Amino acid sequence: MKRLMAAAISLVVAIAAIGFGIIWFLPSAQDAIMARVVASNVAVTTAVLDEDALHVVLCGTGSPVPDPERAQSCAIVYAGGKVFMVDSGLGGWERLARFRLPVDDLTAILLTHFHSDHISGIPDIALNSWASGRREALVLYGPPGVETVAKGFDLAYSLDDGYRIAHHGADFFVAEGADYLPIVVDVPDRHAGVTVFDEGGVKVTAFRVSHEPVDQAYGYRIDYKGRSVVFSGDTKKDENVATFARGADVLIHEALADHMVGLLEQGLDDTGDRRAKVMHDIPDYHATPVQAAEIANEAGVKLLVYTHIVPRLPNALAERVFLRGVSAIRSGGVELGYDGLYLELPAGSEKIVEHDLR
Ligand SMILES: [Zn+2]
Ligand SMILES: [Zn+2]
């Protein structure tokens, strides 16, 4: 029996060695494997295109604080054939590509404000949605100032646009696709929202939040077939978010744990690092996890998801410290967002189906 076992193991090892040898030394075998990998990597995640649901994917849940696990601010919403991004920070495109999310039919980017971590990924989105087939100018909705942002990117990338068209042809890269179409959304009144978009059953509303000295800064609410998602944008605790998130299914709210940032400030200060001042200054225009939970409770949302996570949370202990105090005021319907969180909200239902695209 023992001898039989030994023979069987030897046979398995020999077959594995031969298989490895074939792959290692035979280019045609390597190419066949590569072709399969490529095929699985280019397959588009089509579930988000189902028009009987509102689909929300987080493609960046970080901030300007470097974080290998989190791209800067980025979310994408698919509803009724429309595709809206909410902010476009650095690294967002890499996440969208990794999760194989379609961007060829990008309707617009909704910008909450113009801090770098919310706009620095726009050129990547512009180029890649153009390459994917977008033939019209990329629409950017945002507070007054959006035209300056569009003009700046337009100028900075005008040479690159020319190279792309010259190399791949004007049939592939249609010239209009290189352009931006900035649309200024003016929300003059803190208490009144402004309808940014209302077409095909998809309604987008902009409302004011508090992120001074950034003025104006917006949150956005997207409604589709009775389901809704609200983005707070960057804001300190602001009742206006509760007002506009009233009865929404999902609230994606920014959060900065001031008790952790205080420790960072102390650590930087101890080593004479002048960036301690930045850590000292930032808590006053962001909301804490507990404050965001209070807003979610006030609004009566089903699910609160934290995004724009500050500081970096490298392990479970850090996550626990970040969420300190939250469970005391909100025992359920709350979670830490992550890059790749996909929430599917089917029409005619109360359900929030969660998928992990990582
Ligand atoms: Zn900001
Ligand atoms: Zn920010």
Which pLDDT score, from 0 to 100, does residue 241 have? 98
pLDDT band at 36; cut points 50, 70, 90 = confident
Integer Cα distance of 217 and 246 in angstroms? 19
Residue 212 tokens read as 């001074």
Give the pLDDT confidence of 306-342 residue by residue, as tens digits. Answer: 999 999 999 999 999 999 999 999 999 999 999 999 9
Query: One of 117, 234, 258, 339 is an active-site residue; which one?
Result: 117
- The answer, yes or no, to whether residue 24 has pLDDT greater than 90, is no
Find the distance separating the first CA and the last CA of the chain, reported in whole Å: 45
CA of 220 to the centre of ligand 2 (A): 15
Judged by average pLDDT, the poorest of 7-21, 224-238, 278-292, 336-350 is: 7-21
| Active-site annotation holds for 269 | no
Integer Cα distance of 77 and 252 in angstroms? 12
pLDDT band at 23; cut points 50, 70, 90 = confident
Which pLDDT score, from 0 to 100, does residue 39 have? 75
CA of 200 to the centre of ligand 2 (A): 31
Cβ proximity of 230 and 220 under 8 Å: yes
Q: Which ligand ends up closest to the CA of 255?
A: 2
Residue 78 tokens read as 């698919």
Q: Which ligand ends up closest to the CA of 214?
A: 1
pLDDT band at 138; cut points 50, 70, 90 = very high
Provide the ipTM.
0.99
CA of 123 to the centre of ligand 1 (A): 19
Distances (CA, A) of 265 to 62, 188, 261, 270, 325: 19, 36, 6, 9, 21
CA of 263 to the centre of ligand 1 (A): 21
Which pLDDT score, from 0 to 100, does residue 298 have? 98
CA of 114 to the centre of ligand 2 (A): 9
Domain 49-356 has CATH 3.40.605.10: no
Mean pLDDT, the chain, whole residue set: 95
Higher pLDDT, 157 or 35: 157
Q: Which ligand ends up closest to the CA of 285?
A: 1
Percent of the chain topping pLDDT 70: 99
Cα 232-136-117 angle, rounded to 5 deg: 30
Task: Fill in the DSSP letter of residue 19.
Answer: H
Integer Cα distance of 260 and 319 in angstroms? 11
Q: Which ligand ends up closest to the CA of 120?
A: 2
- The answer, yes or no, to whether residue 74 has pLDDT greater than 90, is yes
Which pLDDT score, from 0 to 100, does residue 5 have? 80
Cβ proximity of 228 and 250 under 8 Å: yes
Question: Helix count (H) and strand count (E) of the chain?
Answer: 13, 15
CA of 222 to the centre of ligand 1 (A): 21
CA of 126 to the centre of ligand 2 (A): 20
Strands 353-356, 194-199: parallel, antiparallel or unpaired by DSSP?
unpaired
Integer Cα distance of 91 and 88 in angstroms? 8
Which pLDDT score, from 0 to 100, does residue 106 have? 97
Integer Cα distance of 127 and 95 in angstroms? 15
CA of 201 to the centre of ligand 1 (A): 30
Q: Which ligand ends up closest to the CA of 73?
A: 2
| Residue 220: Cβ-neighbour burial (10 angstroms; 0-12, 13-18, 19+) | buried
Integer Cα distance of 234 and 211 in angstroms? 6
CA 269 to chain centroid, in Å, comes to 32
CA of 345 to the centre of ligand 2 (A): 26
- The answer, yes or no, to whether residue 126 has pLDDT greater than 90, is yes
